[in-house]
A and B are shown apart, each in its own frame.
Chain A
């Protein structure tokens, strides 16, 4: 995890180090995200550059995190491979999450 400040606001950058967010890891991933959100972090950039596979369980964990955050803040994604981006398009989740090409681009938007 990496913390940055933009316009006086703390931005947390989380980079999962596993190449997969699937049924075998989604519960742990979701719990970690919920702990972070409940600790008060409300602007999160999720760097998916190391992730090359997400299934419906992984997507569910992301959605659950977004719902827990609610209107208090935002979770955006960056560095999503073309393969992984596909699952967001198939499920219309690319309309739910803002997706940026890079961490810097995401930070500029905040």
Chain B
């Protein structure tokens, strides 16, 4: 006789046990969410993160969710959505240069844990996004790579060291190329009436 399939806990049950501080939920959270979080980080961040960094971002997200579990509020979103959002933030911390091994990044729960912003984007902002994306798409390849990494990073400037490694160049060359695209950017946007 075939063995019965194990009954998997629903996300709501996992959320309840997480908030309750039940340590036995951790392996189940990893089983339920990690494979998708890793896939999402690859899909959304592509080459901007190495495999090692994606694993770090995913692990950091779960670690923060466990550490700051009392802040989860189901009325503001699902557990899956909360974890995806924290994983995005962890990935962006890495791009900014705050290494995951830095204990300070774990002490800082990040805005996302408290702020679930569900405001739709304004038409003006959508137009700016289109303009910036069109500008970046027209840059030479290396400048384009640097600009894309910068755009993914809060504050607009990605850590030059991993970028240099990925582009097989020096940090100084990254800075030079960054200066060039920003000079072009300012000229381009001024000419289009933006200030």
Q: A and B bound?
A: no
A residues near B (Cβ < 8 Å) are none
